[in-house]
Amino acid sequence: MRIQLLSSLFLFSFGSYLYRVSSQPEHASFPPRGWNSYDSFCWILSEEDFLQSAGIISQRLKPYGYEYAVVDYLWYRKNVPGAYPDSLGFDVIDEWGRMIPDPDRWTSSKDGKGFTEVAKKVHSMGLKFGIHVMRGLSRQAYDANTLILDTTTGGAYEESGRQWRAKDIGIKERACAWMSHGFMSVNTKLGAGRAFLRSLYEQYAEWGVDFVKHDCVFGDDLDVDEITFVSEVLQKLNRPILYSLSPGTSATPTMAKDISGLVNMYRVTGDDWDTWGDVAAHFDVSRDFAAANKIGAKGLLGRSWPDLDMLPLGWLTDPGSNRGPYRMSNLNLDEQKTQMTLWAMARSPLMFGGDVRKLDEITYSLITNPFILEINSYSTNNMEFPYVTGTKGSTHKTTAHSQRSRRCLKEVGKSHAQFLGFTSCNHPKVNGWSIEALDQDLDQICWKEHMGSHEPLCLYKQKPLLSSDERLIYNQGELHLLASDGMEFCLDASPRKKRTSKEFKSGSFSPCRSDANQMWELNNNGSLISSYSGLCATVKSIDANVGNSGGVRSWIATGRKGEIYVALFNLNSEKTVISATISDLTKALPGKNLNATSCFGFGDIKDSISMEVEIHGCALFVLNCP
């Protein structure tokens, strides 16, 4: 057998490699690929900067399949003193409470044109145009109590003999947890609520939008009702619009089961920024979604893809800032190669986030690497391959061993950790909560399932302290959950700020407030359900290795010509020799005869492959076995 090593190919250009955009009517036949403005411009992007970027994407990246140019959030916010991501009163809305582009930043949007002119120019470049939108209704429209548009009549929505307004449909207590001054859910059970959402997406279609990134509706912020209705609207439009969900904090395959068939891509982590911790945080979640067969599963009018988030490479800004690109990515080259390789092996959408106007050759060669793009588009049987070993701290060449060489890593101590998280209430392991009375005035709600000999995780129960008008909003059984027996900090269903991928959620507590994000209901079956997202709280008990936050990982996949891709990842903080045996690869891919004499490439191999991998680096092999 012969093997080809590809790890060195990331550093240079590779000649022409054209990605053919599918002409099939199916949505998202391959993982979507494009550019998103957030990592480089945050929210202050202008029409001039965007169109300049789109022109470069068309010339340099479109030949490699990067076909979407996406304007991220707050394109409707005035860039003036006092405005920031969660400010109130700086947004531009029309008479129906719908967001429209800030005319000072998007000059062609004046006179009610919206994004029509921008979309036309993007389309003339051979690209597709995308925008970011938030959940439901803006706080600004709610406060203004705007009328609701009925697109079937062109006038105000009327039902039961009256006109309906924003305050009739907005659910103020279900404001987006991390943008509470910005947006809130709408009541999709009301005809007026559905009419408002329909008017939004029909307007986007009229503008010429091809891609919508719908934020604050998934993960901790799950809103199945809104996702479901928006998906129904998109199916009926006269133009195809790719449907993407965000964010993905605490997302699980069980949660995705309810929505993956309604969308085309959906985030499965918090925001990914240019830190090693963020990159490393994607290994477990990508493994879980691959194991659940979610990669390329049935989606809205086509397929759907778990989304590992944008690629923060090249020239960037900072999260939540009021400034444009000004610095290079903090990831070193090995870490960038690891990120690109994992995104490819997991077949995540590839949305480049750097400033394309300052696209350096190393970054360019990385995001246009032909093997990476081939794997991302066409590979199958993508999965984490657990049968690898790592040996630290030795000098080693890439070799092909005729005998197995497995050395155990040094023993490390272990500690026990409990993590409070959230998942779909359809999950079989959410019914582990019960009440314990401490005295006549104080109860605890404790998780006791699957804890073994460890102490249960307990929260203090308290009825919410609400004013008389607020009390009418909530069900009788709803309650606050506190970290201690004082009335100060209550459990949030979603954190009050956007989390990055590395910020693993172990419960979020903030000062107690009277909104749905802190309201919980304990059901008789032992499930603890959030009034904000409809998700259930659960506790994971983990024995963690102390002093070993890294480790080695591997992914495998098969190519469309019969080749086998093997990626080795070193998450350790020192060089590590990573090895895999051919017999174990055969077990993972039972339909392949890896001892076949027809295999060819570079380097002989008999029983195993092995390589010393750089700190936070990776090695990518191709076994050519047609």
Q: Which domains does the chain have, with CATH numbers?
A: 35-378 (3.20.20.70), 389-394+548-624 (2.60.40.1180), 418-463+477-495+505-541 (2.80.10)
- One-character DSSP codes across 172-197: EEEE-TT-TTTEEEE-TTSHHHHHHH
pLDDT of residue 399: 46
Digit-coded pLDDT (tens) for 195-212: 999 999 999 999 999 999
Give the helix ranges, DSSP H, for 315-430.
Answer: 333-345, 361-367, 370-378
Give the global pTM.
Answer: 0.86
Task: Return the structure tokens found at 517.
Answer: 């994000």
466 has a pLDDT exceeding 70: no
pLDDT of residue 407: 28
341 has a pLDDT exceeding 50: yes
Q: 106 and 115 in contact (C-beta within 8 Å)?
A: yes
Compare 75 and 258 and report the one with higher pLDDT.
75
Instruction: Of 81-85, 418-422, 427-431, give the lowest mean pLDDT range.
Output: 418-422
Band (626; pLDDT cuts 50, 70, 90)? low
**Which span out of 174-178, 188-192, 508-512, 543-547 was modeled with the highest average pLDDT?**
188-192
CA-CA distance, 591 to 603, in Å (whole number)? 23
Please provide the average confidence, as pLDDT, over all residues in the chain. Answer: 85
Instruction: Of 35-49, 306-320, 525-539, give the lowest mean pLDDT range.
Output: 525-539
Band (427; pLDDT cuts 50, 70, 90)? confident
175 has a pLDDT exceeding 50: yes
Give the helix ranges, DSSP H, for 106-223.
Answer: 116-124, 139-144, 166-169, 191-207
pLDDT of residue 408: 26
317 has a pLDDT exceeding 60: yes
- CB neighbour class for 90 (10 Å; exposed up to 12, middle 13-18, buried from 19): middle
Say which residues have a Cβ less than 8 Å from residue 282's Cβ, sequence separation at least 6: 269, 272, 308, 342, 346, 501
CA-CA distance, 400 to 606, in Å (whole number)? 7
**What mean pLDDT comes out for the span 285-303?**
96
- One-character DSSP codes across 537-587: EEEEEEEEETT----EEEEEEE-TTS-EEEEEEE-SSS-EEEEEEHHHHHH
Continuous segment of H or E residues that includes residue 536: strand 536-545
**What mean pLDDT comes out for the span 338-343?**
98
476 has a pLDDT exceeding 70: no
Is the backbone of residue 71 left (phi > 0), alpha (psi -120 to 50) or beta? beta
CA-CA distance, 344 to 556, in Å (whole number)? 11
**What mean pLDDT comes out for the span 231-254?**
94
pLDDT of residue 216: 95
506 has a pLDDT exceeding 80: no
Identify the CA nearest to 622 among candidates 557, 550, 544, 541.
557
Say which residues have a Cβ less than 8 Å from residue 589's Cβ, sequence separation at least 6: 381, 556, 558, 564
461 has a pLDDT exceeding 60: yes
Band (9; pLDDT cuts 50, 70, 90)? very low
CA-CA distance, 144 to 138, in Å (whole number)? 10
63 has a pLDDT exceeding 60: yes
**What mean pLDDT comes out for the span 330-349?**
98
pLDDT of residue 14: 33
CA-CA distance, 526 to 528, in Å (whole number)? 7
Q: 13 and 361 in contact (C-beta within 8 Å)?
A: yes
Percent of the chain exceeding pLDDT 90 equals 63
Q: What is the DSSP letter of 411?
A: P
**What mean pLDDT comes out for the span 444-462?**
78
**What mean pLDDT comes out for the span 550-574?**
93
- Residue corresponding to tokens 């499930």: 527
pLDDT of residue 401: 37
CA-CA distance, 625 to 596, in Å (whole number)? 7
Percent of the chain exceeding pLDDT 70 equals 82
Instruction: Of 454-458, 568-572, 586-590, give the lowest mean pLDDT range.
Output: 454-458
190 has a pLDDT exceeding 60: yes
**Which span out of 12-21, 294-303, 404-413, 604-613 was modeled with the highest average pLDDT?**
294-303
pLDDT of residue 64: 98
202: helix, strand or coil: helix
Compare 85 and 130 and report the one with higher pLDDT.
130
**What mean pLDDT comes out for the span 357-379?**
97
CA-CA distance, 416 to 155, in Å (whole number)? 61
363 has a pLDDT exceeding 60: yes
Continuous segment of H or E residues that includes residue 384: strand 380-384
pLDDT of residue 488: 73
Number of neighbouring beta carbons within 10 Å of residue 369 = 26
Strand order in the sheet with 68-71: 297-299, 302-307, 265-267, 242-245, 211-215, 128-134, 68-71, 33-36, 350-352
CA-CA distance, 295 to 260, in Å (whole number)? 10
